[in-house]
Amino acid sequence: MKVGIRDSMLGLPFEEVFGKAKEIGFDGVEVCIGTNYREHPLWSESGVDQIRAVSEEVDIETPALSPGGFTAYTFAHPDDATRDEGIAMLQHLSAVCPKLGAKVILVPFFGNGKIEPEHIMLPRFIDGIKAAAATAAQHDVCLALESTLSADEHQQILDQVDSSAVGVYYDMGNATGLGYDAATEIRQLGKAIAQMHIKDTGRNHAGEGEVDFPAVIEATHAIGYDGWYVLETPSDDDPIAAAAKNLNFVRENY
């Protein structure tokens, strides 16, 4: 079992995150990219080299890249140039992943980028995923969709795209908060789950909210999931202590 943490959760300058994460006991750091994505080190060869050097120096991995800014460039966007920019963003990150040893790109659909029910069967939306997935497949990378959809709706998308380079980034906290039965959904999606976030509801620490973790853990074991668990838990006033607390929960219960 490998456990990671999103880079923004430790409250430290980016260059210090990898060393501190390793010190706390994490196996990896999920690298997050914001709205001004072209300013991120991942958009320059030297920046990629620096991230790789820092992670190798402290012997910590990169389980995934997480372009949060993608929500402004979704596959269903009505403006062709904006839609194309989103696809190009994912294609660029697909080429970067092998340089960092990452296998997953989290593709978020929240806020203005939320997947609406009518998008699921929309050729423009599905074709956009296929275009990005073709590049991801070339680099042995999985585009892991994270959204407000149910497991059934995610499966409808996966069936239409029909690519091993597309899966689901499952977040049991989000699912529970939306009224879904996380354990049942995990069993439904099975091998389609590319990666998982560890999160509870209501900005609670893992195990202190409404997520039925015993059932979720049982379901996770039942489907034979052996991928990463990446913390997306509250940082509170002491991000380091909070990260250690939630890491201990995962180590002790999974």
Round the average pLDDT of the chain to a whole number and report it.
Answer: 97
Q: Are 165 and 137 in contact (CB under 8 A)?
A: yes
- Give the residue-averaged pLDDT of 78-97: 97
pLDDT digits (tens, 9 = 90+) for 42-66: 999 999 999 999 999 999 999 999 9
pLDDT digits (tens, 9 = 90+) for 140-169: 999 999 999 999 999 999 999 999 999 999
pLDDT digits (tens, 9 = 90+) for 6-46: 999 999 999 899 999 999 999 999 999 999 999 999 999 99
Q: 142-168: string of b/e by CB count within 10 Å (b at 16+)?
A: bbbbbbebbbeebbbbbebbebebbbb
pLDDT digits (tens, 9 = 90+) for 169-192: 999 999 999 999 999 999 999 999
Domain that holds residue 144: 2-253
- Give the residue-averaged pLDDT of 108-130: 95
Looking at residue 123, what is its pLDDT? 96
Total domains in the fold of the chain: 1
Q: What's 220's domain CATH number?
A: 3.20.20.150
Looking at residue 143, what is its pLDDT? 98
Looking at residue 101, what is its pLDDT? 98
